[in-house]
Amino acid sequence: MTNLPKLPELKAVIFNTSLKRDTEQSHTQILLDAISNLMKRAEIEVTSFHMVNHSVPPGVYPDMTEYGYDKDEWPEIWKTVREADILIIGTPLWLGEESSVCRILIERLYAMSGVLNDDGQSIFYGKTGGAVITGNEDGIKHTAMSLLFAMQHLGYTIPPQADCGWIGEIGPGPSFGDKQENGITGFDSDFTKRNTTIMTWNIMQLAHLLKSNGGFPKYGNDRKGWEDGEQFGFELPHRSID
C-alpha cells in the first residue's frame, strides 16, 4: 500500500513480557517490532517496555512500595499507559500459558481499575488493546483469550481479530526469527504476516474512531452516577409467582 493512513493523534504502548533480559534474544520482540514499525509508519507515537528489565513486583495495588517492596517502577510506567490510546501485550508461551511476567502486568493493570475518567468510566474506556503470542507449543488462542478477556474486563475495547502470533513445530526447535539454512523462520509465514497486519490496523482504526468521537458513550456506565443513585433505566420486571 503506497498511501498509508496517517493517525498522528494516537499514542500506543507496547509491552514485551519475555523472560529474557536481552531484547536482542527475544523472539517476541521481533514480532512486536513489526507491529511498532507499522504504527510508526502511520505516524502513531509508540513507547515500548521490556517488562523484565523494570522493577515491577506482583500485586494488585498502584504502588507496591506501600506493601513491603523496596522498589516499584509501575507508578512511573503507568503514566505512559494512562496516556496511551492503544495497548499491545506480547508474551511467549510456557506450558501453553502466558509468561509469569505477563501475569504480573495484568495484575498491575487491574490495580488501576478503580481510576475513573471525567465521565465516571474506567480510565481504560476509549482505549483499544491486542495480544501477540510467540513460541513453539500450542496455546496461541487460549492465551490470547485470557489476555483479551482481562483487557476488556478492565475497560479496553477489543476490535475484531485483535490477536496474532507464531508457533513453530511443536517441541524443541527454531523460534520466530531464528536463522536457518533455508531462510529465517517465521518471516515467510503469510498467515502470521497477514494476521499481524490485520490486527494492527483494526486496533489503530478502532482507536481512531473512539478518539474522534470523544470516547465511549457514558450513559449507563457512569460509576459516579450509580453512586449518586441513578439507575439508568434498570428496574426489575413486575411479575407474580403462582
Distance CA 197, CA 235 (A): 44
Whether residue 240 lies inside any domain: the answer is no
For residue 199, give its domain range.
11-227
Q: CA-CA distances (angstroms) from residue 111 to 14, 27, 65, 199? A: 19, 29, 14, 27
Whether residue 52 lies inside any domain: the answer is yes
Whether residue 64 lies inside any domain: the answer is yes
Distance CA 160, CA 158 (A): 7
Tens place of pLDDT per residue across the chain (242 aa): 568 889 999 999 999 999 998 888 888 999 999 999 999 999 999 999 999 999 999 999 999 999 999 999 999 999 999 999 999 999 999 888 999 999 999 999 999 999 999 999 999 999 999 999 998 778 889 999 999 999 999 999 999 999 998 887 666 666 777 776 666 676 778 888 999 999 999 999 999 999 999 999 999 999 989 888 888 988 888 777 76
Whether residue 160 lies inside any domain: the answer is yes
Whether residue 149 lies inside any domain: the answer is yes
pLDDT of residue 192: 87
pLDDT of residue 141: 92
pLDDT of residue 14: 98
Whether residue 1 lies inside any domain: the answer is no
Whether residue 197 lies inside any domain: the answer is yes
pLDDT of residue 230: 87
**DSSP sequence for the chain:** --S----TT-EEEEEE--S-S-GGG-HHHHHHHHHHHHHHHTT-EEEEEEGGGS---S-SSS-GGGGT-S---HHHHHHHHHH-SEEEEEEE-BTTB--HHHHHHHHHHHTTTT-B-TTSSBTTTT-EEEEEEEESSS-HHHHHHHHHHHHHHHT-B--TT-EEEEE-SSSSS--TT-EETTEETTTT-HHHHHHHHHHHHHHHHHHHHHHHTTSS--TTT-HHHHHTT--TT--PPP----
Name 164's Cβ contacts closer than 8 Å, sequence gap at least 6: 31, 130, 132, 133, 192, 195, 196, 198, 199
Whether residue 55 lies inside any domain: the answer is yes
Model confidence, pTM: 0.91
pLDDT of residue 170: 65
Q: How many domains does the chain have?
A: 1
pLDDT of residue 171: 62
pLDDT of residue 136: 76
pLDDT of residue 3: 82
Residue 152: give its domain's CATH number: 3.40.50.360
